[in-house]
Amino acid sequence: MTAPRRLRAPEANRSNALHPGAWWVWALGLATAASRTTNPLLLGMLVGVAGYVVAARRTDAPWARSYGAFVRLGLAVLVIRLVFAVVLGSPLPGTHLLFALPEVPLPDWARGIRIGGRVTAEQVVFALYDGAKLATLLICVGAANALANPARLLKSLPGALYEAGVAVVVAMTFAPNMVADVVRLRTARRLRGRPTGGVKAVLQIGLPVLEGALERSVAVAASMDARGYGRTAQVPPAVRHTTTALTLGGLLGVCAGSYGLLAASGAGCGLPVLLGGSAAALAGLWLGGRRQVRTRYRPDRWGIRAWLVAGSGVAVAALMIWAGSVDPDALHPGVVPLVAPTLPLWPAVSVLSGLLPAFVAPVPPKESS
């Protein structure tokens, strides 16, 4: 009976908490997989995997409640994309007419733009696939925001990124703090018998929410500045120039390699460029970290469970990229002519491998009553 207990994920505490960078690597892997397909079945599986992991490993912290806001934002993006396709039309040809809207005549200088007119099933399905991909990307990013502690993520940044990290933590904590303030103010209005819906309630809640979220984010940045963030030591000029060249060149290589991987015909040269740029950027960050004179209290360690969580996201992205080169038609269902999407076997299995964090990541402690 002891062997199964050892295989179970332990309860999370300060000593075995998962590194926040592992959650971001896992989520970005799912987002990369979503960018490689327009198959609604695979996109729905990615959303389900992200939602299941968030439900299984989300804590009770205020920033962990932002996942629902990202889901609603993704649905809003999907609806807006469909509305634009219906109202503004699409150059995509179609034969299955759904309905026709009154077409607004436009001047000659707006030739090529159409408002109203024929709406076909091919146009609507194409917009649905396109909007679902973007919504899935937002939901994957929301999963990372709900699972990774932004303060611990900032503390884990390399020394060369501490100055930029102060601005990053303000941006990353603004949305979670805003969601927490919305919940708090709506609860207070409900207890006082005031309405929580409608335009008037939104206007009364909006200003305090924005003000409170911004104040708390700026307070975090001020506390980090008071504790020595940005304090640097003297280094030789040659080291500074080498650090700048390696960092900028590495980041450019990462951007070019990422574009090659995401493009339809650049996966062959994109991976070597991405690896070379990553190596150069890491070398520059290591040299830049020598300028920092501050120490870290109880740093987060990248353990075996962090490797498993990050590796599952990388595996999902790599297998989806491989499947796209082997059988691209399965990942991109046809719209003209209109065909029903099918669920390919190996891409579906690769997406299911993203469920690994729900079983290996430490279990968050239950909320005490």
Q: Which pLDDT value is given to residue 15?
A: 64
Residue 2 has pLDDT above 60, yes or no: no
Between helices 162-191 and 67-87, what is the axis angle to 10°? 90
How large is the average pLDDT for residues 273-284?
Answer: 80
Give the C-alpha separation, 53 to 56, whole Å: 5
Cα dist. 93→114, 126, 267, 335 in Å? 14, 11, 30, 10
Residue from 48, 358, 59, 12 nearest 180 by CA = 59
Residue from 359, 366, 313, 296 nearest 152 by CA = 296
Give the C-alpha separation, 11 to 361, whole Å: 9
Residue 68 has pLDDT above 70, yes or no: yes
Most confidently modeled of 185-199, 297-311, 355-369? 297-311
| Residue-wise pLDDT tens digits, 161-172 | 655 666 666 666
Give the C-alpha separation, 325 to 216, whole Å: 47
C-alpha atoms less than 13 angstroms from C-alpha of 330 in its C-beta half-sphere: 16
Q: Which pLDDT value is given to residue 58?
A: 86
Decide: residue 152, CB within 10 A, 0-12 exposed, 13-18 middle, 19+ buried: middle
Peptide bond into 337 cis (omega under 30): yes
Give the C-alpha separation, 244 to 238, whole Å: 10
Decide: residue 95, CB within 10 A, 0-12 exposed, 13-18 middle, 19+ buried: exposed
| Residue-wise pLDDT tens digits, 245-272 | 887 788 788 788 777 766 655 556 766 7
Q: Which pLDDT value is given to residue 243?
A: 75
Q: Which pLDDT value is given to residue 203?
A: 63
Tokens of 172: 């990353």
